[in-house]
Amino acid sequence: PCRSFHGNNRLLTSQIISHYESIIQNKKELPEYFNFASDVLDEWAQLEKDGRKPANPAFWWVNDEGEEVKWSFQELGSLSRKAANVLSEACGLQRGDRVTAILPRVPEWWLLNVACMRAGIVFIPGTSQLTAKDISYRLQASKAKCIITNDTLAPAVESVLPGSQFLKSKLIVGQGSRDGWLNLKELL
């Protein structure tokens, strides 16, 4: 018998091992290309939409003040498609381009991560504790074409931008606006 989690049956370890062994023995075909956003997230969203799976949160975030953000698989899929469009269209990024995100772990961090997977953009996470020197090094070493940060961290990021020859766009996560920065919430 399987253990139940929110009413859904989970795979037993033996089932997972059996599935893995069938792949190793070439009994299951592996896709030539795999994209987590479309091959997993969108499949779960479709099951949810068709009523074959109950609407459970795909994402559930709670901050220290008790504020919550909950997204179903359908909501996360839709938001990540919009965010991927922002990265591709407004920021001018293409498959294989690199994005450096210097953000605390706010919901947009995960949203942008999935959006990058969806668009084939390389997501380079950076902690909010990076110094200006750290940021400058990461931008140069990665040849990132876009940097994403929030209102609080933007001044430290801006201090190193003149030396970044690869950067094409700057995206800010937050309520405010800054000269020369695109605002994610407005674009979504």
Given this model, what pLDDT does residue 8 score? 43
Given this model, what pLDDT does residue 39 score? 87
* CATH code: domain of residue 114: 3.40.50.980
Is 88 among the domain residues? yes
Is 78 among the domain residues? no
Hunting for tokens 């099951």 — which residue is that?
47
Give me the residues of the chain with pLDDT under 70, please. Answer: 1-20, 22-24, 27-30
Is 104 among the domain residues? yes
Distance from chain centroid for Cα 61: 14
Full domain range(s) for residue 146: 83-186
How many folded domains does the chain comprise?
A: 1
Helix residue ranges, H only, the chain: 13-24, 36, 42-49, 73-85, 107-119, 132-142, 154-158, 184-187
Is 150 among the domain residues? yes
Given this model, what pLDDT does residue 17 score? 61
Is 156 among the domain residues? yes
Percent of the chain with pLDDT over 90: 64
